[in-house]
Protein backbone atom coordinates (compact mmCIF):
# COMPACT_ATOMS: atom_id res chain seq x y z
CA UNK A 1 0.00 0.00 0.00
CA UNK A 2 1.35 3.42 -0.95
CA UNK A 3 2.07 5.98 1.73
CA UNK A 4 -0.28 8.98 1.75
CA UNK A 5 0.77 12.32 3.21
CA UNK A 6 -1.66 14.70 4.89
CA UNK A 7 -1.73 18.20 3.41
CA UNK A 8 -1.86 21.09 5.90
CA UNK A 9 -2.18 24.81 5.16
CA UNK A 10 0.03 27.39 6.88
CA UNK A 11 0.52 31.14 6.74
CA UNK A 12 -1.16 32.89 3.82
CA UNK A 13 -1.66 29.75 1.74
CA UNK A 14 -5.50 29.67 1.83
CA UNK A 15 -5.98 33.38 1.15
CA UNK A 16 -3.47 33.25 -1.71
CA UNK A 17 -5.17 30.17 -3.14
CA UNK A 18 -8.65 31.69 -2.87
CA UNK A 19 -7.46 34.84 -4.69
CA UNK A 20 -6.48 32.84 -7.81
CA UNK A 21 -8.74 32.43 -10.84
CA UNK A 22 -10.91 29.30 -10.70
CA UNK A 23 -9.07 27.62 -13.60
CA UNK A 24 -5.71 28.15 -11.89
CA UNK A 25 -7.16 26.87 -8.60
CA UNK A 26 -8.27 23.66 -10.32
CA UNK A 27 -4.87 23.08 -11.94
CA UNK A 28 -3.11 23.87 -8.66
CA UNK A 29 -5.45 21.58 -6.67
CA UNK A 30 -4.68 18.69 -9.01
CA UNK A 31 -0.93 19.22 -8.61
CA UNK A 32 -1.20 19.56 -4.83
CA UNK A 33 -3.31 16.42 -4.50
CA UNK A 34 -0.64 14.50 -6.44
CA UNK A 35 1.85 15.53 -3.73
CA UNK A 36 -0.08 13.34 -1.27
CA UNK A 37 1.48 10.24 -2.80
CA UNK A 38 4.67 11.69 -4.31
CA UNK A 39 5.90 14.87 -2.58
CA UNK A 40 9.34 14.56 -4.16
CA UNK A 41 8.18 14.03 -7.76
CA UNK A 42 10.35 14.96 -10.71
CA UNK A 43 8.54 18.30 -11.07
CA UNK A 44 9.10 19.13 -7.39
CA UNK A 45 12.38 20.85 -6.66
CA UNK A 46 14.11 21.54 -3.36
CA UNK A 47 15.02 25.19 -2.88
CA UNK A 48 18.51 26.31 -1.88
CA UNK A 49 20.17 28.96 0.25
CA UNK A 50 18.02 30.48 2.97
CA UNK A 51 15.06 28.49 1.60
CA UNK A 52 16.81 25.11 1.98
CA UNK A 53 14.33 22.55 3.29
CA UNK A 54 11.43 24.09 1.37
CA UNK A 55 10.26 22.55 -1.89
CA UNK A 56 8.38 24.06 -4.79
CA UNK A 57 6.30 22.80 -7.65
CA UNK A 58 5.54 24.94 -10.68
CA UNK A 59 1.96 25.00 -11.88
CA UNK A 60 2.24 25.77 -15.56
CA UNK A 61 4.60 28.55 -16.58
CA UNK A 62 3.19 31.25 -14.29
CA UNK A 63 2.37 29.81 -10.85
CA UNK A 64 4.14 28.11 -7.98
CA UNK A 65 3.45 26.34 -4.67
CA UNK A 66 5.95 26.24 -1.79
CA UNK A 67 5.76 23.46 0.79
CA UNK A 68 7.70 21.49 3.37
CA UNK A 69 7.74 17.71 3.64
CA UNK A 70 7.85 17.02 7.39
CA UNK A 71 9.56 13.69 6.81
CA UNK A 72 12.51 15.46 5.12
CA UNK A 73 12.63 18.15 7.77
CA UNK A 74 12.86 15.62 10.60
CA UNK A 75 15.24 13.33 8.69
CA UNK A 76 17.57 16.23 7.90
CA UNK A 77 17.31 17.73 11.42
CA UNK A 78 15.83 21.03 10.22
CA UNK A 79 13.29 21.35 13.04
CA UNK A 80 15.31 24.08 14.74
CA UNK A 81 15.57 26.05 11.49
CA UNK A 82 11.84 25.98 10.81
CA UNK A 83 10.64 26.00 14.40
CA UNK A 84 7.10 24.98 13.49
CA UNK A 85 4.91 25.50 16.54
CA UNK A 86 2.97 22.28 16.08
CA UNK A 87 5.83 20.05 14.89
CA UNK A 88 6.02 18.07 18.10
CA UNK A 89 2.46 16.81 17.71
CA UNK A 90 2.64 16.01 14.00
CA UNK A 91 3.67 12.67 12.61
CA UNK A 92 6.30 12.52 9.89
CA UNK A 93 3.97 12.16 6.94
CA UNK A 94 2.64 15.68 6.55
CA UNK A 95 3.14 18.29 3.88
CA UNK A 96 2.97 21.90 5.00
CA UNK A 97 1.64 24.13 2.23
CA UNK A 98 3.04 27.59 2.99
CA UNK A 99 2.57 29.77 -0.09
CA UNK A 100 1.19 29.81 -3.62
CA UNK A 101 0.73 32.30 -6.38
CA UNK A 102 2.24 33.88 -9.46
CA UNK A 103 5.94 33.19 -9.93
CA UNK A 104 6.66 36.89 -10.44
CA UNK A 105 8.00 38.00 -7.03
CA UNK A 106 7.11 34.65 -5.44
CA UNK A 107 10.59 33.71 -4.22
CA UNK A 108 11.37 37.20 -2.90
CA UNK A 109 8.14 37.17 -0.88
CA UNK A 110 8.81 33.63 0.32
CA UNK A 111 12.35 34.53 1.39
CA UNK A 112 11.08 37.53 3.34
CA UNK A 113 8.18 35.83 5.16
CA UNK A 114 8.58 32.04 5.43
CA UNK A 115 9.68 32.11 9.07
CA UNK A 116 6.63 34.11 10.14
CA UNK A 117 4.29 31.83 8.24
CA UNK A 118 5.61 28.70 9.94
CA UNK A 119 5.06 30.25 13.36
CA UNK A 120 1.34 29.69 12.86
CA UNK A 121 -0.53 26.52 13.68
CA UNK A 122 -2.04 24.69 10.73
CA UNK A 123 -5.28 26.30 9.63
CA UNK A 124 -6.79 23.16 8.23
CA UNK A 125 -6.22 20.23 5.95
CA UNK A 126 -6.15 21.13 2.28
CA UNK A 127 -9.41 20.76 0.42
CA UNK A 128 -10.23 21.77 -3.12
C-alpha of 48 from chain center: 15
CATH topology of domain 17-118: YaeB-like fold (3.30.2310)
Over residues 55-97, the pLDDT tens digits come to 999 999 999 999 988 877 777 777 666 666 566 666 678 898 9
Question: Residue 6 pairs with which residues in a beta bridge?
Answer: 94
Q: What is the pTM of this model?
A: 0.84
Listed range (22-36, 59-73, 98-112, 114-128) with the worst mean pLDDT: 114-128
Domain ranges of the chain: 17-118
Sign of CA pseudo-dihedral 42, 37, 27, 72:
negative
Separation between Cα atoms, residue 14 and residue 46, nearest integer Å: 22
Amino acid sequence: MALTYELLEYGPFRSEFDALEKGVQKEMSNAILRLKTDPCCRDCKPLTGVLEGIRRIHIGPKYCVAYIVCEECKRDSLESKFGCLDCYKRKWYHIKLIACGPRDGFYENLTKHWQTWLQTVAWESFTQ
